[in-house]
Structure 1
Amino acid sequence: MQLTTIAAAALLARNAAAQFNMLRFACSQLVVDRIDPLVNPGMTYTPHLHQLVGGNSLNISMDPETYDLAAESTCTSCSFKEDKSNYWTAVMFYKSQNGTYKRVPQVGNGGPQGQLVNNGGLDVYYIPSGRVTAFKKGFRMLAGSATNTDPSKVAKSNICHRCWTSASENQFVGGAPCTGADTVEIPHDKSCKMIRQTIIFPTCWDGQNLDSPDHQSHVAYSSGSGATGGGACPSTHPVKLPQIMYELMWNVTEFTNMPDFPTDGSNPYIYSMNMGGAAAHGDYLFGWEGDTLQKAMDSGCNLNQDCPAAGIHAQTPAEYNACTKEQQAPEEVDGWLAALPIGEMAIKA
């Protein structure tokens, strides 16, 4: 049964918390930059813009065999001090009818499990289901495809968008992630005050390869569906991983109030690839210190709290917000732009 009330959603969250603990924490914006060390290593002014969070050792080239994110980083824009991983997604833009573009601002996530404070960026979940094996040093993976234009090729249970009809991220809307009225495509009804984007990564690993040429073949989705920690793994990928989930809150309120908001049914919201929700994707580079993530999963560490059993420490928002990095592909990405930052450097409108 679809859960449509705040009370039902809160009950769902409490029931889930009773079944297992999970890490749920904020990651503020480290940088908005045209780099992609996973898909386009060594390149600046990559094909599209990303918002990147996590450890400040982020670089255009990070060889998984030699580059130690945890050792190279002096800070992280994520809540847990010991998490120097890097997480990133594409950037959402609003396209005005005069052909100019503006990056959609972001806020932290609220909901029954409490508010997370973000300066841009995204929220990260590590959801275990039974005994899981933490990622190994050098591990990396990709969820989704930046070139896909066909919504039917995307499992809504893994990548989805929600029309958030509340003006506050703390007033919960809908049920579990990627259920009910959630859609693969980006919603654009004027009733949407925010758009919540969810990206759920595979939970099964082949047990051998830290990466693969397409950054996806070494992992696989389990028999489970949605944000449950995953189900049984296939024989080809027998090692159960913690389920990583990204949640992003795009605040579209200022755009729905604009006089040029489309009335013809067209969608003014696009990602930085100049594509819609079917091309939504997320990138992950593992960088937790030592065996802290394994201990956190084994010890049932919960939400964004200190967990002495695993040796992980939650920073204050002031601490993780202070961890930023200068663009490695310098260009203007804020305010109204004459065109999307694709190919040539971005130009202010």
Structure 2
Amino acid sequence: MQEASPGRARVTIADIARAAGVSKPTVSRALNDHRDVGAATRERVREVAAELGWFPHAGARALRTGRHDTIGLLMPLTHWWGYADIQYGIAEETARRGLHLLVQPLHPGERAEREFVTRTLPALSIDGLILLMPEGTPRHVGALAHTGPPAVVIDDRGHRLDLPYVESTNRAGFRDLVRHLVGTGRKRVAFAGGQLDDAFAQERFEGYQDALREAGLPYDPELTVLPADREPTAEELGELLAAGPDAVAAAWDEIAFGVLNVAHTEGRRVPEDLAVAGFDDSPIARVMRPPLTTVRQPFREMGSAAVRMLLDAIEHGAPPAHFTVPTELVVRASCGAR
């Protein structure tokens, strides 16, 4: 077998043809799965190509097929544990389909968005783009609905952008959570939330109100904290507990952790005196004392669903307007029931 020259930077079609004892056109057709080349010859050419260390030129292949076999992922430079799970789901699905994944960071701010859309994106060799949106409604990124490659948004925050999106059941999930608390005998269920600027926060608050109405329980503003900042302070949570709830449903787990801390400081027993529950099922929720009842966001499933939607758009045109992945109630000891 002819060896590839150690000094050669790249094995050529001519190298493969000489080593396999066939013509260069035959090598080209064999490597491109042309039907006029017999199966035995195709296999022989591929074996020789592999032994010589040949690999196809990505640019040439893209010119020939119109595909890069690469998906882009636009990631905000925001630290949040959920992004890692979403990215894992995307990476798992792309690997399963034999595709490449190109991760592109997005710096915060309108200038960075404009730079990405007008300069960075046109230079990327990708077939489509998945977007993870940071807080605040992006301006220039929304232009991707009308320009650029096919794109899908993974959207747990309510940024629609006129693009196809994958979402979870925020409102229904929170309704299930409060239903569970009421079902354990709690009658004064409080809501500890954050800013309602993002759609997901508003939807969870609406789910809370839905469950109260369903149970025939009145809505009491004193049992609700909706701070100006992203999360309530310890003082605001203390005022909420002073209103006498027997349960607190927090809009996300980090707020629930704050409730547990304030309850511990005040000598309230959880769950005997106060049931506490959150939303998202963060990694810390299961190791809290007591372990936190919460609603699991299907982040990995959302990532894989976004890949499937994007490939459908690339191969067949516009995908469905959106795809919803259901949340799951996870019952642990903090609510007093298993």
Q: Please say whether Structure 1 and Structure 2 have the same fold, judged by a TM-score greater than 0.5.
A: no
The normalised TM-score by structure 1 is 0.22
The normalised TM-score by structure 2 is 0.23
> Higher relative contact order by CA 8 Å / sep ≥ 6: 1 or 2?
1
